[in-house]
Amino acid sequence: MEIFANLDLFTVGLTVTGIGVLGFLVWLTNRRSITNRTFFAFSVITVSWGIINYLNYQTASPMDTLWLLRIVLFFAVLQAFTLFQFIYVFPLEQGNFSKAYKYGLVPLVIFTAILTLTPAVLKEVLEISSTGGATRVRNGVGIGLFGLVSVGLVLDGLLTLYKKIRIAVGVQKSQLKTIAYGVSITFALIIFFNFFLPAFLDNALFIPFGAVFILPLILFTYHAIIQHHFLNVKVITVEVLIMVLAVTSFLDVLISESLIEVLIRVVTFILVLVIGVLLIKGVLKEIKQKNELQVLSIKLKSANEKLKELDQARAEFISVVSHQLRTPPATLKWYLAALLSGDFGKVTAEQLDALQKANITNNNLISLIEDMLNVSRIERGRMEFDFVKGDLNKLIESVIVQLKPPADDKKIGLVYKKPKKSLPEVVMDGEKVKQVVNNLIDNAIKYSKSGSITIELSQTNEQAKVRVTDTGKGIDQKELENIFSKYGRGKDSKKYATGLGLGLYVAKIVIEQHEGKIWVESPGRGKGSTFAFTLPMKVGARAEKKVFNMAQKSNLTKKQPSG
């Protein structure tokens, strides 16, 4: 069949057209780029090399065949060089070549290319097939230099390419990998069939099919363009595709024989143009949006870095200020304790009432400063935990004694339900767990106007459980999810107590670092609430000392399950 008789012309034509169009598109995308210009030169030389390859086996004249083969070798040297230079300069806009490159490699390539046109590389054609084209040749001594330069450039280019792949990141790494596959396959075929066989076995049978070996490079390069936007030619490819379709449709109109055919093909031509314009607009819009997103991403990254710096500076500032603020109320607490205990003499009932109120206010201030310090330590990754065995029952009792005066002042009873059987000692950071218990009971007092607060300690399934139940304002279901977040406070919390909403945030971190759980339950507004946490009775995976890791903050806003 005629189609199979012309199969060689079809494959060579397809390959030559593919690499030619590809090189032209790359050049159109950025004419000033040394990378794009080098790829264009490589494509032009490859097209010339492919055409000469094809013409070589269309002639039966030994002399014509000899010169065509020499020209094939001439373009093969330039092809290897332009490929090497493309890999060498990618993805630069401007070339920066060393003296060894300009005054050593370039002259060597030129000399070798010219040498291929002389008998020094290819002496004569020994045998021609019946259909044309050499099947056996006689090489000259210069064939070694040709092989050394051509194969050396290709192998050095591949080595450079793989070095670039190792240090590349993101999309550029994917681009280079795809191109590396195409280059490796293509030049492995060319070196074996178009150099090794003719040079060492005097077999030139496959030289005319050299253009077909370029197909892997073309296919992988187009894949890199479509999949990874290689050399940024996506929009140009679409434009050329639409142009080809439009020209083909218009030619159909010209060769139409009847009026109906003309009308149908005119409509087809118009549809191709309209759809093509819309498609090009869509691609341009997509590229514009992508570029804008990239710019925004860079700006956002920069802003994020600045925010991190500001946040770190803020944390440092809070830490310094908190430390400075910590000393006066601590000193005041010592004097108030001395006054209340009568160390400075007997005080009247009126004075005692005033001192107790001052002591409550001072303790609230100390608690607030401690919360700020803890948050600052958390944000800077400097919150340390010292795990030792401790009596959780005694810890709770000490907190209740400390908070009884403010509870009595509001006529709120504190009911402590101890476990029926003594609990074993718990491995914990006593000071921090005490702060958690203090925070939960203190909050219950603040957010209750009357009634009672029940503190319960129990043990279930190798865990110690602490529950603090009040008859206060309760919590709306919508607010439960954010109650342990930083600055998380209810809508009307300011009516009951002042604060920043840091206590529960710190409590959650402390309990989680103890490998425990903390949660809240509430039937709703005005129906009270229960805050509870568990601590494992066993040491588990906890070390005796550890520092809170900032990477763990990602889980801090998640709602804890009740248990």
Residue 36 belongs to domain with CATH number: 1.20.1070
Query: How confident is the model at residue 284, as a pLDDT?
Result: 60
Query: How confident is the model at residue 90, as a pLDDT?
Result: 81
Q: Which two tokens stand for residue 308?
A: 């991190």
Residue 290 lies in a domain: no
Closest CA to 213 of 40, 44, 53: 53
pLDDT in tens, 116-156: 999 999 998 887 776 666 777 888 999 899 989 988 998 89
Domain boundary among 232, 259, 282: 232
Residue 554: pLDDT band (50, 70, 90) is very low
Query: What mean pLDDT, rounded, does the chain reach?
Result: 77
Q: What percent of the chain has pLDDT over 70?
A: 72
Residue 537 lies in a domain: yes
- State the average pLDDT over residues 409-430: 88
Residue 534, pLDDT > 90, answer: yes
Q: How far apart are CA 127 and CA 140, in angstroms?
A: 16
Say if residues 219 and 65 touch (Cβ distance below 8 Å). Answer: no
pLDDT in tens, 240-287: 665 566 556 655 665 667 778 778 877 886 787 677 667 666 666 776
- State the average pLDDT over residues 75-90: 89
- State the average pLDDT over residues 364-380: 69
Residue 296 lies in a domain: no
CATH code of the domain covering residue 448: 3.30.565.10
Phi, psi of 424 (to 5 degrees): -65, 165
Q: How far is CA 1 from CA 4, 6, 7, 12, 129, in A?
A: 6, 9, 10, 18, 22
Residue 304 lies in a domain: no
Residue 10: pLDDT band (50, 70, 90) is low
Residue 243 lies in a domain: no
Helices (H), 140-169: 143-167
Residue 313, pLDDT > 90, answer: no
Q: Which two tokens stand for residue 355?
A: 């001192």
Per the structure, the count of domains in the chain is 2
Say if residues 528 and 469 touch (Cβ distance below 8 Å). Answer: yes
Q: Name which of 214-218, 303-307, 557-561 the model is least confident about.
A: 557-561
Residue range(s) defining the domain that contains residue 137: 2-232
Query: How confident is the model at residue 321, as a pLDDT?
Result: 62
The string over 345-366, giving b where at least 16 C-beta atoms fall within 10 Å of a residue's C-beta and e elsewhere, is eeeeeeeeeebbebbbebbbbb
- State the average pLDDT over residues 522-533: 88
Domain boundary among 182, 206, 232: 232
Query: How confident is the model at residue 106, as a pLDDT?
Result: 93
Domain boundary among 193, 214, 232: 232
Q: What is the DSSP string of 513-547?
A: HTT-EEEEE-SSTTS-EEEEEEEESS-TT--SEEE
- Which one has a higher pLDDT value, 234 or 274? 274
Q: How far apart are CA 388 and CA 43, in angstroms?
A: 74
Q: How far is CA 535 from CA 319, 374, 378, 437, 517, in A?
A: 29, 20, 21, 12, 7
Count of C-beta atoms within a 10 Å radius of residue 529: 24
Q: How far apart are CA 362 and CA 452, in angstroms?
A: 24
The residues, ordered by sequence, that sit 6+ positions from 516 with a Cβ below 8 Å of its Cβ are: 463, 533, 534, 535, 536
Query: How confident is the model at residue 556, as a pLDDT?
Result: 41
β partners of residue 390? 426
pLDDT in tens, 152-172: 998 898 888 888 888 887 777
Residue 174, pLDDT > 70, answer: yes
Query: How confident is the model at residue 320, as a pLDDT?
Result: 62
Query: How confident is the model at residue 229, as a pLDDT?
Result: 58
Query: How confident is the model at residue 324, as a pLDDT?
Result: 64
Residue 362 lies in a domain: no
Q: CA 334, 335, 338: angle at the middle one, nearest 5?
A: 90
Residue 407 lies in a domain: yes
Query: How confident is the model at residue 351, as a pLDDT?
Result: 82
* Burial tier of 202 (Cβ tally within 10 Å: 0-12, 13-18, 19+): middle
- The H-or-E segment that residue 460 falls in is strand 452-460
Highest mean pLDDT among 342-351, 352-361, 418-427: 418-427
Residue 138 lies in a domain: yes
